[in-house]
Amino acid sequence: MDKETLEAFKGIVKEAIKEETQALEAAMKDQLELAMQAQLEDVTGVIRDMGIMMDARMGTLQEEVHMLTTEVHAVKQTVERIDERTQNQVEALYEELRVTQRNVKEIQFDVVRIKTHIGMPA
């Protein structure tokens, strides 16, 4: 083989290697893009699923908050009714105590009058 043929062969091999390298780079780039796209789709799916789960949980939490708010309101009303009844009972007991004290004073006065009337020391 002469030098010219060797150089031509060398140029052909270089060109073939260059083309193969470019083809490998393109294939690797395509594979990398496909892998990245698949990974992005997976992550997007996970995020979408989490969003759906969070929306469902938020709905449940809102229902629980509404239920608890209703229960708290009912308990407050019950406490207010009990407080009002208790206050009424306390007022009635105080009135009953005043009447009883007045009756005791009247009885004591009557006892003194009776003792005085029958001649006993008061």
54-83 pLDDT, tens digit each: 999 999 999 999 999 999 999 999 999 999
Q: Is 103 part of a structural domain of the chain?
A: no
Residue 105 falls within a domain, yes or no? no
Question: Which residues span the domain enclosing 32?
Answer: 1-89
Model confidence at 117, in pLDDT bands (50, 70, 90)?
A: confident
Q: Which residues neighbour 9 within 8 Å (Cβ) at sequence distance 6 or greater?
A: 1
Counted domains in the chain? 1
Let me know if residue 84 belongs to a domain.
yes
53 lies in some domain: yes
Does 6 reside within a domain?
yes
Instruction: Provide φ and ψ at 120, rounded to 5°.
Output: -95, 150
Report if residue 116 sits inside a domain: no
In a domain, 29, yes or no: yes
pLDDT score at 65: 96
Is 80 a member of any domain? yes
Q: What is the C-alpha separation between 23 and 27, in angstroms, rounded?
A: 6
| pLDDT score at 44 | 96
